[in-house]
Amino acid sequence: QVPLVESGGGLVHTGDSLRLSCLGSGRAFSTSVMAWFRQAPGKEREFVASISWRGGNTFYADSVKDRFSISRDNAKTTVYLQMSTLKPEDTAVYYCAQDYPPRRFDYGYASNPSAYDYWGQGTQVTVSS
């Protein structure tokens, strides 16, 4: 089991920004595809963003494109999700996920929760109107 620990969630207002962090571990991190998913109450887990192992390629859900940015620092075994212009509909538990070893990296694969082998416990983000 590869532990993933998310942090940075909280209660913010509409239009605010927030940065989530996900701390991974081990040498596998730098050769893993990493992603963020979220799950709102009563809804299925949905894809937010993913990033290739070296950080050169990213994918985003349409609902967050141009507002969220995923990045990674392999030296710190950390992946980030910078969220800006937050909306009440962004309220959810945000999960970090790791695909190791990565089999491929295209939108159809990277946006599917079943592609990921390891998951964090999640961090709550609440956006008030």
Q: For 78-93, write each residue's pLDDT tens digit.
A: 999 999 999 999 999 9
SS3 (DSSP) at 13: strand
Cα 6–chain centre separation: 9
- Tens-digit pLDDT profile for residues 33-78: 999 999 999 999 999 999 999 999 999 999 999 999 999 999 999 9
* Residues 6+ away with beta carbon under 8 Å from 85: 15, 17, 67
Q: What is the DSSP letter of 107?
A: H
Compute the distance between CA of residue 128 and CA of residue 107 in angstroms, rounded to an integer: 31
